[in-house]
Structure formats: structure tokens, C-alpha cells
Structure 1
Amino acid sequence: MKVVVIGGSGLIGSNVVRRLRRDGHDVVAASTSTGVDLMTGDGLAKALEGAHVVVDVANAPSFEDEAVMSFFQTAGRNLLAAEHAAGVEHHLALSVVGTERLQQSGYFRAKAAQETLVKASPVPYTLLRATQFFEFVGGIIEASAQRGEVRLSPALIQPVAADDVCAVLADLAVGMPLNDMTELAGPDRFPLDELARKFLAAHKDPRTVIADVHARYFGAELDDRTLVAGGGHRIGPTRFHTWLSRSVAKD
């Protein structure tokens, strides 16, 4: 089976590429570095020749509101049109749990627009919504840090290991399209401020974490439903404390 992974050189894409190649599939890792430009469409037709499945894990180069919306709308239209022309049988896209509950954020408005394009396309599809990756916890902390303090909401979060996300993507890629959405989350739920304390303590970072119910998460206020998966979701096997101890050991 020929699978094209859009964003194939990134954290998620490169892992999915390795998994699919290991299983014997013909995999193209498509990205700007390999001559595929989603914004102009350059290189798409050639990359998609003979492709059965496209896995879209590309992310916007800028999270500024107008730029991120432009990226996901333009890239989505170009990619889906090229897939239709090439006879692609399955479009698998990665999105984010809670997208519809985070519409105060320009990034998540753009992700919602991307999902709408996928659903409206004639190409059969699967949408995998995942919760935030363990690997992004440090970035969430830095985005909320100021003058030696980190101010975060105590709302629940259910993070997942990026490797577990990749395993599910590789599995879905070789299955039948669902023409629906499915969700993936980690095995544990934590208050976001508590998760940050665990992360900072493991890294011997002395900064203080302050729980603030009005603290914004990339522009949006949170409640205990916003960042957790709904009923019937898939659960990644890796626990946060296991990932954290391994991560610290690598430093």
C-alpha cells in the first residue's frame, strides 16, 4: 500500500513513516524539504501518484490568528483537491480533542475549519482527535510563565504520549476510512497546574505554579471538560510518570 505522510519530517510524521515502512508499506514522507508545498500546491500531484492513503499531520508554521487560519484552509483545500484528482481512497488527519470547546483561540478556530473541509470533501476520511502530547507540557508551561511564576488553570487535562498517537495513526492508516471522528487520550487526568508542578519538579525547576481559574490556555479559558476526551475514546498505554522519568533520564 502506498501511503503519503504530509508533514512527514516532523515529530509525529517521522514516527508514523518509520512505523509504516517497518510494516512493509511504500511510504512517501512529504514536506517542504522534499519539495511539497501545501500553500501553493507545488509537488502535491507528483507525491500523490498512485497513493492509496494520505496521512495529514502537517502543522502551521505560525500560530498568529490570520496566518494559522490561512494555512489550514489553503493547505486543506489544495491537499484534498489533489487527493481527489489522484484517486486517493482514504484521508487521515490529526486534530485535537476539545477543538469545538476552544473557539476563543485562533488556532483552534483554524483546526475546526480544517475538520470542516475534510468532512465536506468527496475523499473518504478519518479524523483522529488526540489530547495534548506529553512532549508539549514544557511549551505550555513556558507560554504561561512570567517573572518566575507559572499561572495555569486547575482544569483537568488528559495528555498522551506522542508515540502512542503515532501508533494509532499507523493503525488507522491501513484500515478502512471511518468517515467519522475518533478520539485518543492518555490513561490519566490531572489538573493542569498539578501536571506543571510534576514536570518542573522532575526537571528541578524552582518556579512556582499558581492555580488560576481565569488563566488562559492559548487564548481560551478552561473547565474540566475542555481538554479531556469524551466517552468511548481510545486510551494510550503510556503513563505520564513513566514518560517523564524517561525524558529526564535523557537530559
Structure 2
Amino acid sequence: MKIVVVGGTGLIGNQVVALLAQAGHDAVAAAPSTGVDTLTGEGVDAALAGADVVVDVSNSPSFAPDDVLRFFTTSTRTLLDAEERAGVRHHVVLSIVGTDRNPDSGYLRAKVAQEELVRSGGVGWTVVRATQFFEFARQIADGATVDGVVRIPPVAFQPIASADVARYVAEAATGDPRRGVTEVAGPERVRFDEFVRAALADAGDDREVVADPAAPYFGAVLVEDSIVPQGDALLGAVTHADFTAPRTAV
């Protein structure tokens, strides 16, 4: 199959392209750097010509609420319109666990809008929602730092390795459209502030991490199960200890 991976040069997309190519598919990485711009439409029709599946793992360059909403809605409409012209049969989009439970977050509201467009489009679809990635622990801490102190809400957290996310996205891309949502998460549920504290310690970062129930996450104040699966979910194989082991061993 020809499978076009939008955002195919990023953290998840790069891995998805590699997995699909290893499985014998014609995997095409589509991104502005490869001449495909889903905001302007430049290169989209050419990239999708002959495609069976489109995987969208792209992300907004700006997380400002208006910018991120504009990015996800414009990009998704561009793709869905082009997919209908090209006869694409399956649209797979990567989203986030808890999108529909955190309306105060501009970023997550934008992901909800993206999902709604995919559901209402004329192409078969699958939504894969993932929890936060291990790889983003430092960025989370940076965004939560106030006066040198990292403030993190003490709620349930179930981070996942990007490699596991990529594997589940690739599996969805090679399967039939589910017309539903699949949630994927890491194998261990921990407390958010404890995870960040451990991740920074593993990285040699001595910033103080404080449990703060009022600390926002992507603009939302969280409750206990805001950003973890509430029902069945596919669990990744990589634990946080597995993820940090190679660096610890060096």
C-alpha cells in the first residue's frame, strides 16, 4: 500500500515511516521540508496521488489557542478534501488521551475540533489517542517552571514511549478503518509530579518539583483522571526504566 505520513519527519512520523517501509509498504513522509504544506495546500495533491492511507501525526508550530485551532482545522480540511479527490480509503489521526475531558485547554479543544472533522469527513477513519510521551518530560518541566520551581499537578499519569505510539499508529494504518477511537498508554500508572521529579533526576536536572493541584497543564486544571485512559487501552511495552536504561548505562 501507499501510505502518506503527514508530519513524517517528526518524532512519531519518522518512526512510523520506518516501520511501514520495513513491512514492505510505500511509505511517504509529507512535511513542509518535503514540499508538502497542509496549510496552503502546496504539494498535497501530488503527495496523495495513488495513496491508500493517510496518517496525520503533524503538530502545530505554535501552541497559542487561536494558532493551534487554525492549524488543526485548516490542515485537516485540506487533507480530507485532497483524500476524497485521490480516492484515499483510510485517514488515521494521532490525538491525545483526555482531549474531550479538558475543555479549558485551548490545545486540547483544537484536537477535539480536529477529531470532529475527521469523523464527519467522507473518508474512513481511525483516531489513535495517546498519553504523553516519555521524551517530553523535560519540555513539560520547562513549561511548568515558575521562579525556578517546577509545579506539577499530583494526578494520575501514564506516559508512553514514542516507539510504542509509532507501532500502534503503524498498525492502525495497515488495518481497516475503525470509525472509532483507540487509546494507547504506557504500561505503568504513576503520579504526574513523581514522574517529572524522577525524569529530571535521571537527566541530572536538580530543579525542585512541587506538587501543586492548581498548576495548569496545556491551560487546564486537572483532576485525578483527566489525562489517563478511563476505559480499555492498549498498553506499550516500554517502561520508564527501560527508556532511561540506555542513558544510565553510558
Aligned pair 1:175/2:184, yes or no?
no
Work out the CA distance in 1 between the residues paired with 2:49 and 2:41: 14
| 2:41 match | 41
Q: Displacement of 1:52 after TM fit?
A: 0.4
- 1:13-24 alignment runs, 5 A limit: 13-24=13-24
State how far apart, in whole Å, the 2-side matches of 1:41 and 1:203 are: 40
Counterpart-to-counterpart distance in 1, 2:241 and 2:138 = 14
2:215 is paired with a residue whose SS is coil
How far apart are the structure 2 equivalents of 1:187 and 1:101? 22
TM-score (norm 2): 0.97
Q: Which runs of 4+ in 1 moved over 3 A?
A: 247-250
Whether 2:113 is the aligned partner of 1:113: answer yes
> Any unmatched runs of 5+ in structure 2?
none
Residue pair 1:203, 1:248 contacting (<8 A) in 2 also: no
Distance 2:99 2:248 in 1: 30
* 2:93 alignment partner AA: A
- Of the structure 1 ranges 102-111 and 87-96, higher mean CA displacement relative to structure 2 is found in 102-111
Query: Could you say what secondary structure the match of 1:92 adopts?
Result: strand
Deviations 1:8-61 (A, max 9, x none): 100100110011111111111111011111011111111011100000001001
Residue 111 of structure 2 aligns to which amino acid in structure 1? K
- Cα distance in 2 for partners of 1:6, 1:119 equals 18
Distance in structure 1 (CA, Å) of the matches to 2:175 and 2:149: 46
Quick check: 154-163 or 142-151, which moved more? 142-151
Matches within 5 A, 1:63-82: 63-82=63-82
Q: Could you report, residue by residue, the CA deviation over 1:97-116 in whole angstroms, capped at 9, with x for unpaired residues?
A: 00011211111111000000
After TM superposition, give the deviation of residue 247 of structure 1 in Å. 4.2
Deviations 1:59-95 (A, max 9, x none): 0011111111111111110110000111001000000
- Give the secondary structure class of the aligned counterpart of 1:194: helix
SS in 2 for 1:91: strand
Structure 1 residue 146 displacement after superposition: 2.4
Paired residue type of 1:218? F
Structure 1 unaligned blocks of 5 or more: none
Equivalent positions of 1:93-108 (< 5 A) are 93-108=93-108
SS in 2 for 1:69: helix
Percent identity of the aligned residues? Answer: 48
The RMSD of aligned alpha carbons is 1.1
Cα separation, 2, equivalents of 1:206 and 1:31: 37
Q: What CA deviation, in whole Å up to 9, does each residue of 1:120-146 have, x standing for no partner?
A: 001000000000000111111111112
* 1:159-198 correspondence runs (5 A): 159-198=159-198
Amino acid of the structure 2 residue aligned with 1:22: Q
The number of residues matched between the two structures is 250
Cα distance between partner residues in 1 of 2:59 and 2:248: 27
Which residue does 2:32 correspond to in 1? 32
SS at match of 2:221: coil
Aligned residue for 1:143? 143
Distance 1:249 1:7, change over 3 A: farther
Q: Once the two structures are superposed, what CA deviation does each residue of 1:153-192 show, in whole Å capped at 9, x if it has no partner?
A: 0011111000000011111111111011110000111111
Question: Matches of 2:102 and 2:159 in 1, distance apart?
Answer: 16
Aligned to 1:241: 241
Counterparts of 1:55 and 1:39, CA distance in 2: 16
